[in-house]
Structure 1
Amino acid sequence: MSQDLRVGMVGYAFMGAAHSQAWRTVNHVFDLPARARMSVVCGRSAGQVADAAVKLGWEGHTTDWRSVVESDDIDLVDICTPGDTHAEIALAALAAGKHVLCEKPLANSVAEAREMAAAAAAAKTRGVRAMCGYNYRRVPAVALMRQLVAAGRIGTIRHVRAVYLQDWIVDPQFPLVWRLRKEIAGSGALGDIGAHIVDLTQFVTGQSITAVSALTETFVRTRPLPSASSGLSASGNGAATGDVTVDDAALFLARLDGGAVATYEATRFATGRKNALRVELNGSLGSLAFDFERMNELEVYDATVPAAEQGFTKILVTEAEHPYMAAWWPPGHLIGYEHSFTHEVRDLIEAIAAGQDPAPSFADALQVQLVLDAVERSAAAGSWTEVEPVLEAVQG
């Protein structure tokens, strides 16, 4: 790697804007072994990607992602496209010796994710690194949650509760955007937001999901075709309609390999909830709770103190001693959603410079994909379904 880490990003919409914010900011905040250089952004529309390059701060732009992958002037390829293109771009980038950051979920199927994880494992022997972008791991309160669990502060974890609630498609006239088409998105609420709480709970508990019992539901099965869309907004295209081919909601019970039991709920039909992600851990010595709508806070219950002193305590996670926070503002000054992406690319740059595997690796992301697959199989069969072990999946 040169002194500069020259980044080529494919995709410039919602996630592309979030990643661009991170690449623009990371070296202004953190003292890193390499400087992130925003070399080129790629998109399908020549005019729109040219505008995006100016707005988001990229030096150049192109409509050909293969030119990004093949360029000798690019060190890392950042994939911010819909799921149906993740595997092709990531595999080509790894083969070309480029580091890869790929948005979640890793792929649209276990087969694709398995191939990507195997390619990343092979590329690692050549010093090439790959990471999947589960940004909620990098929220300081979540990172603190993991530290407290690892330190044994809540004892043996017995019960996990996780929900991710949105409402942006409650209106049946909301158009049939790509996130509602299985051939592009892979799945609906399950893969889009359910994947986040699967990864987050496994991250903070240090336990993996081994079996699930699930149901999924699609409440609105046909929608107007879109005439335009951006992020989570869209406009319709008259009377023409198309079929929704993904789930609107996914709910499941789970068993974890450390003995805990868990409940998960992911839905885009929680009217009034815009981006409500909440995780609660109940242990033998206490409990922890995180709510993204109050992302700078962590709730802690210590069952080891006298009963007269027990109760949930709110920790404001803004002290310099808290994960990531020393680089930002004085205590009490809050950070936001975009900072999780800045922390993500900071960790990636440091891992590449140190010759270490970043986390979550493609193997970690494959494990999440295997959980999503088990959920879909369980919902179809109406029965408990085991999650395939990652090692067996990689070896195929």
Structure 2
Amino acid sequence: MTTPIRVAVIGAGMAGQAHAFGYRNAMMSVSTPISVELVAIADPNLPLAQSVAARYGFAEAIGDIDALLERDDIDAISVALPNFLHAEVLPKVIASGKHVFAEKPIGRTVEEASSLQELADASDAVTGVGFSFRRLPGLAALAAAIADGRIGEVHTVRGWYNADYAADPAGALSWRYSQEQSGGGALLDIGSHAIDAVQFVAGQISRVDNTTLRTVIAERPVPSAGAIGHGASASNERGPVTNDDIALLSVSFHNGAVGQISLSRIAQGVPNALGVEVFGTRGHASFNSINSGEFVLFEDGLTDAAYNGPRHIVTGPAHPYFTDVAAMPGGGVGTGYAEAFTAEIQEFLRCVAAGTEMDTDFAAASAMMNVVGAALEASKTGTAVDVA
């Protein structure tokens, strides 16, 4: 029997709850035995931490984050805090010597991300970052098909992330709407996932050729004390939104491909949809998380012209992560947003057990942030900016 990995989560908000969900379900894995001991949820909002601990079966809740780091009954820690707290908390967690799994992004700027990557690189512990969409079987299978050369040489890429969590003007003015506290609006909050997904599938972005940033809802009501999430506020006091609701990027890739990435947090009627479409010299492939249980693949010349066309492939046990997260080990039962969190936590725990690096490490987070940094600079200057 495998020795349990003792885990804690710092942050009891939406992302922290998603991590707790992942740990709770990590032992679904059948390909690799995983054993987890759910030790603690830590958050300065102790009542919230207590409710999350009770919901997901963690043994206790604590309000003192620093005290958690000094304990010797914890092997690994997830950090899921607002962006402006990562630069403060992550160095202390890394210095504790415990394995670290951080929610994206690991910093608000290129400089913060680079500094945190240096600390992670110097650590003997496993350090990973939560780019959860990579763990959806459909997107992972699409990336594998492109890497195998099934569509030939990639020349055109389109990525998008549309969400409507900010479409209501009454939505509270949380840290997500502050450029200083967040590091970016749609560009970083949801763009981090889309940029990572595009680079995961099509290769590294070398240059941001053009960036358009727009703020449509210029002010919002201040939130009530202790509020989390994207809920509305009835406050009569209002404040300015200082980052973007919409971001449009034109990019170039190291492999010679060109692409576009469109991001919106005010896409009315589209609650949460990440997609990637890639065209190559011998075919194309696409994925949309709204239909996360399938992907599309076209391979030129696969059969005669009368019957050849794009195929909608339903994910199943032959595809990455599926067997370890699906409710039943058969095609068509569906996997989605929740299963992606289970898969990313499983991958983190496998790496902890084996002492190996994650593919979504702090370097991957820095690579994403370098694109964001170039996009912000391109928006200011109106010129193309090379990605660091």
TM-score normalised per structure 1 = 0.93
Deviations 1:118-167 (CA, angstroms, capped at 9, x unpaired): 011100xx3x1101100000000011011101111000000000111112
Aligned counterparts of 2:101 and 2:252: Cα–Cα separation in 1: 30
Q: Is the 8 A contact 2:130 2:344 kept in 1?
A: yes
Task: Please give the alpha-carbon distance, in whole angstroms, between the structure 2 residues aligned to 1:77 and 1:182.
Answer: 27
C-alpha distance in 1, partners of 2:114/2:323? 37
Paired position in structure 2 for 1:66: 66
The SS at the match of 1:308 is coil
In the alignment, which residue of structure 2 is the partner of 1:310?
Answer: 308
Counterpart of 2:79 in structure 1 is 79
Aligned ranges 1:1-396 → 2 under 5 Å: 3-30=3-30, 32=32, 34-123=34-123, 126=124, 128-227=125-224, 229-237=227-235, 239-305=236-302, 306-318=304-316, 320-327=317-324, 328=326, 329=328, 330-388=330-388
2:214–2:244: 8 Å Cα contact kept in structure 1? yes
Any idea what the Cα deviations from partners look like across 1:145-193, whole Å, max 9, x if unmatched? 1110111100000000011111222232322122112232221101111
Q: CA deviation at 1:68?
A: 1.5
Amino acid at match of 1:165: N
CA contact (8 A) 1:68 1:77 kept: no
CA deviation string 1:351-383 (max 9, x = no partner): 222221102110111010111011011011111
- In structure 1, how many angstroms separate the alpha carbons of the residues matched to 2:146 and 2:14? 33
Identity of aligned residues (%): 32
Larger displacement relative to structure 2 (356-365 or 301-310): 301-310
Shift of 1:268: 1.3
Q: 2 CA distance for matches of 1:17 and 1:194?
A: 21
CA separation in 2, counterparts of 1:175 and 1:346?
34
Unpaired runs of at least 5, structure 2: none
Q: CA RMSD in A?
A: 1.5
Q: Could you state the TM-score of these two structures normalised by the residue count of structure 2?
A: 0.95
Three-state SS of the structure 2 residue aligned to 1:270 is: coil
Ranges of 4+ aligned residues in structure 1 off by more than 6 Å: none
1: distance between equivalents of 2:115 and 2:368? 15
**Structure 1: how far apart are the matches of 2:28 and 2:261?**
38
Structure 1 unaligned residues grouped into runs of 5+ = 389-396
Q: Kindly provide the CA deviation profile for residues 81-140 of structure 1, in whole angstroms up to 9, marking residues without a partner as x.
A: 1111112222111111011100111211111111110011100xx3x1101100000000
Tell me which amino acid in the other structure corresponds to 2:24: R
- Paired amino acid for 1:131: G
Check whether the contact 1:5–1:76 (CA below 8 A) recurs between aligned residues.
yes
Matched residue type, 1:307 = A
